[in-house]
């Protein structure tokens, strides 16, 4: 087990649909810590960097148009195994197939407009956090509650 950080985006559909608060609540309800947060506009350059693995795919032009279509809210989320915990909380990529109880499963019905991004592994998390945030934009969040949220050995 490890204390991890992961990059989360509330995507343009979530912002336009006034779902930022619901998504933040789901993360906070889970007991994870938000250690950085800002609203920004993804540019085509940033999209190509963020979605480098998808740039050559047929759906990339639509994905770029979508992710640059309006502001996103970027967050860095911290907790034990935060990368996997967030992927589970988000649900499957295709929101039509995401289980009820997940963010995508409860709030969406699209494969593309699936509300939320979360890093898919430790390397991606490291790169994506560095892409969206400067070190001094992140707080260290030991917080007074961590002792009742998880055990020391889970960090
Ligand atoms: P993920 O967001 O669950 O990690 P990825 O496969 O990495 O899913 O895809 C990145 C994003 O690209 C998805 O979240 C979705 O918005 C979009 N996407 C994925 N597959 C398709 C597709 O087949 N058609 C259109 N958009 C897609
Ligand atoms: Mg992905």
Cα separation, 116 vs 135, whole angstroms: 23
Residue nearest ligand 1's atom 5 by CA: 93
Query: Beta-carbon neighbour count of residue 29 at 10 Å?
Result: 9
Instruction: Please count the structural domains in the chain.
Output: 1
* Minimal-distance CA residue to ligand 1 atom 27: 112
Write down the pLDDT at residue 146: 85
Distance from C-alpha of 77 to C-alpha of 4, rounded to nearest angstrom: 8
For residue 60, how far is its CA from the centre of ligand 2 (angstroms)? Answer: 12
Whether this model's pTM surpasses 0.85: yes
List strands edge to edge, sheet with 3-10.
33-41, 71-80, 3-10, 116-118
pLDDT of the residue at 117: 98
Distance (Å, rounded) from C-alpha 95 to C-alpha 100?
A: 10
Q: Give domain status of residue 63, yes or no.
A: yes
Catalytic-residue membership of 50 = no
Domain of residue 31: give its range: 3-141
Q: What is the pLDDT confidence band of residue 142, given thresholds at 50, 70 and 90?
A: low
Q: Is residue 35 in some structural domain? A: yes
Of the candidates 133, 129, 115, the residue with the CA atom closest to the CA atom of residue 7: 129
What mean pLDDT, rounded, does the chain reach? 96
The model's pLDDT over 93-129, given as tens digits with 9 standing for 90+, comes to 999 999 999 999 999 999 999 999 999 999 999 999 9
Residue 41 maps to a domain: yes
Asked if residue 80 is part of any domain, the answer here is: yes
- Find the CATH number of the domain harbouring 81: 3.30.70.141
Whether 153 is covered by a domain: the verdict is no
């Amino acid at each position: 087990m490890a204390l991890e950080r992961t990059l989360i985006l509330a995507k343009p559909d979530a912002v336009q649909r006034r779902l930022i608060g619901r998504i933040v609540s789901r993360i906070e309800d889970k007991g994870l810590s938000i250690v950085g947060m800002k609203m920004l506009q993804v540019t085509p350059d940033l999209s190509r960097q963020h979605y480098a693995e998808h740039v050559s795919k047929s759906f990339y032009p639509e994905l770029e148009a979508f992710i640059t279509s309006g502001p996103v809210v970027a967050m860095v989320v911290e907790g034990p195994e935060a990368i996997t915990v967030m992927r589970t909380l988000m649900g499957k990529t295709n929101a039509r197939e995401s289980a009820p109880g997940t963010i995508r499963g409860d709030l969406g019905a699209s494969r593309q407009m699936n509300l939320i991004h979360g890093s898919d592994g430790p390397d991606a998390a490291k790169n994506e956090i560095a892409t969206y945030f400067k070190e001094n934009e992140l707080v260290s969040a030991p917080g007074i509650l961590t002792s009742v949220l998880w055990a020391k050995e889970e960090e």
